[in-house]
Structure 1
């Protein structure tokens, strides 16, 4: 019995390892999300370390990515390997912003900032973040999601 288990090929063995672009990964995730049952969140695709579980995307990618992609559990933004720190910071700041809004019933933005830049000072005042990220974050109009993209 053990012999059968050991000789059994993993699903990954059928697929080549190759370069997968950001656009290809994003497209595969979109296709996967369209087929996901409504009661299952896209978060099932994200591992604890925020890496994307490429095994679930094999039917769409037809390959195993050479590099690891990361995804925010809070906003579902996708990042390449070298930007993993942004995914981590984004999740921390999004959770802090959500808690701030729940407590204060207002947005934790720098006063009178037309771009709605997140005020790390306001988040620190309520002990919602322990250290300031090195990147600026902004709050969108859409469900008060946090983003690194400065509004136009």
Structure 2
């Protein structure tokens, strides 16, 4: 009887720390989302710094990643630690582009740029954007979502 009692009151063990790849995280986020109620989005995994709460993914990964991962709440793209600034800028610029398009019925594109590069100066001049990203972002044909690569 005492053996049973001690097991019951033993604190839960921490999940193991594991090595993961970006593909592992993407798969786990997808599986996590499949188990959410329809009205809840995968962004519940993300904190204010775009960091993914890996403890919520532990059941899908078999442990907690040793690395940090980040996700854009606007585009859902996932990034590794070395690219942690990208989701922040994707989120603020995506919101600015959406607002600009709603107000002006056109895209804020750099003049003469065929790959769809976002015109940061235009967005800043018209107060849609407060902070200029240190790298270019591009508007895709897929619902005018942004990407950091062409």
Normalised TM-score (structure 2): 0.87
Structure 2: give runs of 5+ residues left out of the alignment. 1-8
How far residue 112 of structure 1 moved from its aligned partner, in angstroms, is 3.9
The verdict on how the C-alpha distance between 1:66 and 1:106 changes in structure 2, with shifts beyond 3 A counting, is same
**Separation in structure 1 between the aligned mates of residue 98 and residue 45 of structure 2, nearest angstrom:** 22
Q: CA RMSD in A?
A: 1.5
The verdict on how the C-alpha distance between 1:75 and 1:8 changes in structure 2, with shifts beyond 3 A counting, is farther
User: Hey, what does 1:76 align to over in structure 2?
Assistant: 76
**Separation in structure 2 between the aligned mates of residue 49 and residue 118 of structure 1, nearest angstrom:** 23
| Residue pairs, 1:62-73, within 5 angstroms | 62-73=62-73
**Separation in structure 2 between the aligned mates of residue 86 and residue 48 of structure 1, nearest angstrom:** 14
2:84 match: secondary structure: helix
Greater C-alpha Rg? 2
| Deviations 1:8-30, CA, capped at 9 Å, x for gaps | 624xx342112111111111111
**Separation in structure 2 between the aligned mates of residue 129 and residue 141 of structure 1, nearest angstrom:** 21
**Separation in structure 2 between the aligned mates of residue 103 and residue 134 of structure 1, nearest angstrom:** 25
How many residues are matched?
A: 142
